[in-house]
């Protein structure tokens, strides 16, 4: 892939919609595959995904991520709650800004007892913390960083290989660490259906 194309893709991703109003990006019900051999589009430009594909019904892979305190978070650790992983590309993009702010508003206005909410990106934990504070996001959302080894992206098939970022995805994992729902939107300027993910998660509380 030529550098000029990558530069154009990054520019489009970060700047194309800065002037749009809040909630300008559409929620999508579409779903596409993860991992090597699949693509995500950015305003019709195809970007290759890499890594191992996860599947509904399978166990969620064990990955070490960093939380805001730089402590390790193991995705396979035992939990008495259902987990929803909201996977975002970067906190520096307008689509992700809307996606996480919408998530924050949703968790504050709905009873999600028994569900844990995580936001995962390839940003550093420091960048995530700055974004969370500046955007005044709910403390009910736990940010996790995949910036060091990109193990999350490679072990879930959510890595955009040319950009080193994660593709926009929502994953529901039950108390036994089994995957119950995946939605990976085929176009990066659209947002996964959070309400559908929550509806599935509630079945496993």
pLDDT per residue over 179-204, tens digit each? Answer: 999 999 999 999 999 999 999 999 99
- Can 96 be counted among the known catalytic residues? yes
Q: When comparing pLDDT for 23 and 78, which is higher?
A: 78
Choosing from 49, 84, 96, 198, which is the catalytic residue?
96
Res. 44 pLDDT band, cuts 50 70 90: confident
Segment 3-21 mean pLDDT: 46
| Residue-range domains of the chain with CATH | 3-16+25-202 (3.40.30.10)
pTM above 0.85, yes or no: yes
Segment 18-39 mean pLDDT: 81
SS (HEC) of the chain: CCHHHHHHHHHHHHHCCCCCCCCCCCECCCCCCCCCCCEEEECCEEEEEECCCCCCCCECCCCEEECCCCCEEECCCCCCCEEEEEECCCCCCHHHHHHHHHHHHHHHHCCCCCEEEEEEECCCHHHHHHHHHHHCCCCCEEEEECCCCCHHHHHHCCEECCCCEECCEEEEECCCCEEEEEEECCECCCECCHHHHHHHHHCCC
Segment 10-14 mean pLDDT: 51
pLDDT at res. 24: 85
Instruction: Check pLDDT > 70 for residue 4.
Output: no
Supply the mean pLDDT for the chain.
Answer: 90
Instruction: Check pLDDT > 80 for residue 8.
Output: no
pLDDT at res. 78: 86
Distance CA 55, CA 33 (A): 9
Res. 73 pLDDT band, cuts 50 70 90: very high
Token pair 């070490």: residue = 64
pLDDT at res. 192: 97
């Amino acid at each position: 892939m030529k550098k000029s194309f990558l530069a154009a893709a990054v520019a489009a991703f970060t700047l194309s919609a800065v002037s749009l109003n809040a909630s300008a990006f559409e929620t999508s019900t579409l779903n596409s595959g993860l991992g090597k051999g699949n693509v995500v589009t950015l305003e019709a430009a195809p970007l290759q995904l890499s890594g191992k594909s996860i599947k509904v019904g399978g166990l969620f892979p064990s990955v070490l991520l960093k939380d805001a305190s730089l402590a390790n978070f193991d995705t396979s650790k035992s939990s008495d709650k259902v987990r929803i992983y909201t996977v975002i590309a970067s906190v520096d993009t307008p689509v992700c800004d809307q996606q996480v702010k919408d998530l924050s508003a949703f968790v504050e206005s709905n009873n999600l007892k028994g569900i844990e909410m995580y936001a995962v990106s390839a940003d550093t934990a420091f960048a995530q913390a700055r974004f969370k504070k500046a955007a005044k996001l709910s403390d009910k959302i736990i940010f996790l960083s995949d910036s060091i080894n990109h193990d999350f992206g490679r072990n879930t098939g959510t890595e955009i290989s040319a950009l080193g970022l994660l593709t926009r995805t929502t994953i529901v994992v039950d108390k036994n660490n089994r995957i119950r729902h995946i939605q990976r939107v085929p176009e990066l300027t659209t947002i996964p259906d959070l309400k559908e993910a929550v509806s599935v998660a509630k079945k496993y509380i």
